[in-house]
Each structure stands twice: as C-alpha cells, then as structure tokens.
A and B are shown apart, each in its own frame.
Chain A
C-alpha cells in the first residue's frame, strides 16, 4: 500500500501538555501536509511543508520533515480541549495526495 503510517494511532494527554504525532512514508515526495478532522466533519488543512524544508511553524503547530528517514512529525504545543480531533498526514509525490490512517488525539481537561 502507498498509504503513510502514523504513530501513535491514539494519544490521550492532559490539557496544556504537548502532543507529538509521527508519520512515515515510502516514496519520494514533493510536499507533506497535515490535516485535522473533528468528529463528523470534513478534513481541514493545517500546514504544508515542502521537500526542501526541514521545519515549519504555524501558531502552536510545529512540523518537521526528514526526507532521509522518510518521516515527519507534528507537534502541538500547550494543547487545548478544542485540539481534540483526528490528525492525518498526507504526502504528495508525482501522483495524488496519499493519506495516512490518522492519529486520534484526545485532550483531557
């Protein structure tokens, strides 16, 4: 399968803690993206990192990309209850976006 693999599949932390999710892929890529999905809703784009970039920030989000290891991580700092959602990585090579299976993040108040 071309799908990316995400780790962990589920993560539960206390509000205010940091959350880290990892994504691995197998092909060469042009970019890697992260999306969030709230329960019962469509996916929402969070951040895109190009293959020639190593780190990118957006608000409380920090994404890293290691093309030599074919892996990426998403860090959410100072988590909030509203961050409870599923998070998906999606990598893009020569073809269409390929999505990972997602990490289900639960933030406990």
Chain B
C-alpha cells in the first residue's frame, strides 16, 4: 500500500463521541486526502491537504475536521460521531496535485461503526 498506514483499522464507537483517524505516509508526498466509501456512492472526498497546515474541504466535509502538522501525518476528526458517519475511510497521497497528473496511492482503510 505504497508506504501508507492508517490507524486504527477498525473502530466501534457510540454516537456523540469524538473520533480521530490517523494516516501516516513514508513517501514524503505533498498531497494527502481523506475519502469515505459507502455502498452506492463510490468514493467521496472529505478533506485534503496540499502541505503542512494547508488543508481544504472536499465534497462531504460537514461534521469532519482535519489537521496536518507534519508532512507524514494527516488526521481526520469526527468531533461528535453520528450514525451517518459509519463508513470505510481511506487515506490517499499523491506527489502532484492541482488538476494535473494526480495518480493517488491509497492506504488500507479504516472501518468505522457508529452505534
């Protein structure tokens, strides 16, 4: 999985609790992304980062926040988890971005269940 790890790989939590997912890369790629994957929706972009402390919203950012204090780490936080945030979350990285040849490399995913 191209030097990308995600933790935890599985998590069960209760509605209203905060949850933080971590993505760690060893490739020194500038761009990092968080997606969620749900049946019938494919992959949808939540947030992305184009450098340390530089982040922007994606298609489905409501209820999520991100932080990137180091090149190698990109954190996704659900401030107060809801059942609609039950999903599989994927982190991805790319060397280039901004609309050009943006081949992305994906982590193994985190399965999150919100009860």
Contacts and interface: CB of A to CB of B under 8 A. Distances in A.
Contacts of A13: none
A34 B102 CA distance: 12
Contacts, number: 62
Interface in B71-115: 90, 92, 97, 99-109
A33 B33 contact: no
Interface of A: 2-3, 30-31, 33, 35, 40-45, 48, 50, 88, 90, 92-97, 99-102
A103 to B, nearest CB: 11
A42 B1 contact: yes
A30 B1 contact: no
B99 A102 contact: no
Contact of B102 (A35, A97, A100): A97
Interface of B: 1, 4, 33, 35, 40-45, 48, 58-59, 90, 92, 97, 99-109
B11 to A, nearest CB: 16
Contacts of B97: 96
B30 to A, nearest CB: 14
